[in-house]
Amino acid sequence: MRLILLIVVILLAASYLAAQSFDSTRARKLSIMHARSSPEWVRDGIIYEIYPRSFSPEGTFAGIEKKLPELKQLGVTILWLMPIHPVGEVKRKGTLGSPYSVQDYYGINPEYGTMDDFKRLLHRAHVLGFHLIIDLVANHTSWDSKLIKEHPDWFTKDSTGKIISPNPDWTDVADLDYSHHELWQYMIDMMKYWVRDVGIDGFRCDVSELVPLPFWEEARAALDSIKPVMMLSEGSDPAQHVKAFDVTYSWNIYDILSPMMTGKLTAYALDKELNREEVTFPQGSLRMRFSSNHDKNAWDNPDVVKFGEEGAKLAAVIVNTIPGIPLIYDGQEIGNPKKLSLFEKTPINWKGGDDFRKFYTRLFEIRREHPALRDGKMLRIPTYNDRYVYAFERIAGSDTILVVYNFSKFNAMITLDFSGPKLSIGKQIHLAEVFTGDMWDISVSPEKSIPVIVPAMGYRVYVVNE
Which residue, 375, 356, 386, is CA-closest to 287?
375
pTM, to two decimals: 0.93
- The topology (CATH level 3) of 377-465 is Immunoglobulin-like (2.60.40)
Distance CA(290)–CA(251), nearest Å, equals 8
Per-residue model confidence (pLDDT) at position 423: 79
pLDDT digits (tens, 9 = 90+) for 102-135: 999 999 999 999 999 999 999 999 999 999 999 9
Distance CA(56)–CA(132), nearest Å, equals 18
DSSP letters of 422-434?
T----SEEEEEET
Does residue 154 contact residue 183 with C-beta atoms inside 8 Å? yes
Distance CA(316)–CA(363), nearest Å, equals 8
Residues of the chain falling short of pLDDT 70: 1-23
pLDDT digits (tens, 9 = 90+) for 176-221: 999 999 999 999 999 999 999 999 999 999 999 999 999 999 999 9
Per-residue model confidence (pLDDT) at position 23: 65
- Integer CA distances (angstroms), 97 to 50, 111, 163, 189, 329, in order: 17, 12, 20, 27, 20
Give kind and range of the element (H or E) at residue 403. strand 399-406
Does residue 146 contact residue 183 with C-beta atoms inside 8 Å? no
Task: Write 346-351 long-range contacts (CB < 8 A, 24+).
Answer: 346/53, 346/54, 347/54, 347/56, 347/57, 347/59, 348/54, 348/55
Per-residue model confidence (pLDDT) at position 319: 98
Which residue, 425, 163, 387, 378, is CA-closest to 278?
378
- The topology (CATH level 3) of 28-369 is TIM Barrel (3.20.20)
CB atoms within 10 A of CB 120: 15
Distance CA(230)–CA(203), nearest Å, equals 6
Domains of the chain, residue spans: 28-369, 377-465
